[in-house]
Amino acid sequence: MNIFRLTGDLSHLGAIIILLLKIWKSRSCAGISGKSQILFAIVFTTRYLDLLTAFISLYNTCMKVIYIGCSYATVYLIYMKFRATYDGNHDSFRMEFLVVPVGGLAVLINHDFSFLEILWTFSIYLESVAILPQLFMISKTGEAETITTHYLFCLGLYRALYLFNWIWRFYFEGFFDMIAIVAGVVQTVLYCDFFYLYVTKVLKGKKLSLPA
């Protein structure tokens, strides 16, 4: 454990809490991509199957259970409890365009050709692009609520901090995971435009809206 991983985990947890509170308090999931949330639920489910086979630490186990539980809670709120507020017309990104290629890539490029390792690799690849339906939805509507932008910022910050975590581990532990690093870079790059808009608009008290 190092400061970058810890703050990354806290940023990730903060993003999840912000999203759940946003939906619950407003009684609405308007502006939230249900498809991105389904993809994140798939990511956590396939990544943390090792909960059934290994114990690393109490912290590790608790965080995994929280991520899985919160991801399914979010999907439930969007597609069941507050379904009437879900904007399915704008949430039109085709998930299979992500899941199928990522699945094939996980089978071809992995650390070990075993069931759990392929699923872990699949989750790493899928997480790097799981936010695309949400970004695509924002591009279609042309704007996003401020609370939604805070959620996305924390989510992007988590991934950026994890890149520093990998650098730290390489220099101080001699640990290097090419799959995780490349996927992390891809995911961070996807947030770059959003980070720019967040700093230049949201932090100045303006609503995030895209140029016409």
**CA 169/CA 88 separation, integer angstroms:** 42
Q: Give the Cβ contact number of residue 178 at 10 Å.
A: 10
pLDDT number for residue 179: 94
Please give the structure tokens belonging to residue 161. Answer: 């901090």
Tens-of-pLDDT digits for all 212 residues of the chain?
899 999 999 999 999 999 999 999 999 999 999 999 999 999 999 999 999 888 999 999 999 999 999 999 999 999 999 999 999 999 999 999 999 999 999 999 999 999 999 999 999 999 999 999 999 999 888 888 888 899 999 999 998 999 899 999 999 999 989 999 999 899 988 888 888 888 888 887 877 777 65
**CA 40/CA 130 separation, integer angstroms:** 6
How many angstroms from the chain centroid is the CA of residue 41? 9
pLDDT number for residue 212: 53
pLDDT number for residue 146: 85
DSSP result, 103-158: HHHHHHS-SS-SHHHHHHHHHHHHHHHTTHHHHHHHHHHSEE-HHHHHHHHHHHHH
CB 144 within 8 A of CB 138: yes
pLDDT number for residue 178: 92
- What residue spans define the domains of the chain? 3-200
Residue that is written with structure tokens 């993003």 in the block: 15
**CA 147/CA 145 separation, integer angstroms:** 6
pLDDT number for residue 211: 61
